[in-house]
Amino acid sequence: QVQVVESGGGLVQAGGSLRLSCTASGLTFDEYAMGWFRQAPGKEREGVSCISWNGRSTYYADSVKGRFTISRDNYKNTLYLQMNSLKPEDTAMYYCARAYRRMDYLPVREADFGYWGQGTQVTVSS
């Protein structure tokens, strides 16, 4: 049974930090790129950050560059997103997902990802 579970969300004041985690089971984790996406109320889901299978390549949306850091621990089948200097506009449901297939480039499009978790809510108060 495939399970992708996000955790670590919560309510934080602007300028604060949160660390999201995503654990995966029932699927191969260490050979595939992983990504974080978010969806704010009334908006489409958007890509936040992606990381290659070995962690050597990363992508960040312009809106989070310099504030968020993606990482992974393939031994623990876990993906992380360290979020610093949070802003109210970061408020959203955050999802992680695994790439559909192995690629020789870093996928960043939502269409390249499957096996989504249920999400974890991040709320940043001003």
Distance (Å, whole) CA 41 – CA 30 = 32
How confident is the model over 33-55, as pLDDT tens digits?
Answer: 999 999 999 999 999 999 999 99
How confident is the model over 69-120, as pLDDT tens digits?
Answer: 999 999 999 999 999 999 999 999 999 999 999 988 899 899 999 899 999 9
CA 13 to chain centre: 20
Which of 1, 16, 2, 4 minimizes the C-alpha distance to 95?
4
**Burial of 108 per CB tally in 10 Å (0-12, 13-18, 19+):** middle
